């Protein structure tokens, strides 16, 4: 099974609302990253949070990390239709360069 | 700068045929990765290479081989393609060794095995 599990699998909201996605993982990590994928395209990096950090912000993005629960959340505030995409968490394990992904959340923002 | 370039973009193979997916980077990054993504699914790690000359198995290595002959290129080979290998394949790279760096992805290779 994959390292990361995300929920919900799909999320549909109205423009202007906030979107929250959660990620759980299994092993010890150096950092956790969030990526976005538009349909049929490659992934684009959004934000990285290190294992010794608890919260990080970047524009409309807020990420939290709880290493005791092996979980993270991504909050997108004031969502826009252009935020419609799939969002994936990825973890870099402490054992080295291995980078593994969760199964993703499909976000739909309705105008 | 092209970043991460994958070739080909599309490929149709017959069961049992072999092929090599090519990935090249111009970012001078140490680590390179091959993932597969099935419809509606996340990315599963096939193989990765932490540095030139080294490779390691990921989550789903069976049926694949890789080669990292130089820092720039990381190829994925299917020796005898099977319909279960129908997928979109992504190559990615990351700077440095381990630690605190983002991955950059190619645009993917869509492979269909009939």
pLDDT tens-digit map of B9-39: 999 999 999 999 999 999 989 999 999 999 8
pLDDT tens-digit map of B86-111: 999 999 999 854 556 899 999 999 99
Say what the pLDDT of residue A40 is.
78
Q: For A30, which of B59, B98, B106 is closest by C-beta distance?
A: B98
> Residues with Cβ < 8 Å from B29, sequence gap 6 or more?
B93, B94, B95, B96, B104
**Contact flag A88-B104 (C-beta cutoff 8 Å):** no
**Could you tell me if B50 lies within 8 Å of chain A, comparing CB atoms?**
yes
Residue A1, pLDDT above cutoff 70: no
**Contact flag B105-A42 (C-beta cutoff 8 Å):** yes
Residue A2, pLDDT above cutoff 50: yes
**Contact flag B107-A98 (C-beta cutoff 8 Å):** no
Q: Name every chain A residue with its beta carbon within 8 A of the beta carbon of B34.
A: none
> Residues with Cβ < 8 Å from A68, sequence gap 6 or more?
none
Question: In Å, how far are A94, B27, B28 from B94, measured between CA atoms?
Answer: 16, 9, 9
Q: For B102, which of A33, A40, A41 is closest by C-beta distance?
A: A33
**Contact flag B48-A98 (C-beta cutoff 8 Å):** yes
| Average pLDDT estimate for A5-30 | 94
pLDDT tens-digit map of A59-80: 999 999 999 999 999 999 999 9
């Amino acid at each position: 099974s994959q390292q990361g599990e995300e929920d919900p699998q799909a999320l549909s909201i109205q423009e202007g609302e906030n979107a929250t996605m959660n990620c759980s993982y299994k092993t010890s990590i150096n950092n956790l990253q969030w990526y976005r994928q538009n349909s049929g395209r490659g992934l684009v990096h959004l934000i990285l949070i290190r294992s010794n950090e608890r919260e990080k912000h970047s524009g409309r993005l807020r990420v939290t990390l709880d290493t005791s629960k092996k979980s993270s959340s991504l909050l997108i505030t004031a969502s826009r239709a252009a935020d419609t995409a799939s969002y994936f968490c990825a973890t870099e394990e402490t054992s080295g360069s291995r980078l593994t992904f969760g199964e993703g959340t499909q976000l739909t923002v309705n105008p | 700068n092209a970043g991460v370039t994958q070739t080909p973009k599309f490929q149709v193979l017959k069961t049992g045929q072999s092929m090599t997916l090519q990935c090249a980077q111009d970012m001078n990054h140490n680590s390179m990765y091959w993932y597969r993504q099935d419809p509606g699914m996340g990315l599963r790690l096939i193989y990765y290479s932490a540095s030139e000359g080294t490779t390691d198995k990921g989550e789903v290595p069976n049926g694949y081989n890789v080669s990292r002959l130089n820092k720039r290129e990381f190829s994925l080979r299917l020796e005898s393609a099977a319909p279960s290998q129908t997928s979109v394949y992504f190559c990615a790279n990351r700077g440095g060794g381990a630690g605190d760096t983002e991955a950059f992805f190619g645009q993917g290779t869509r492979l269909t095995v009939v």
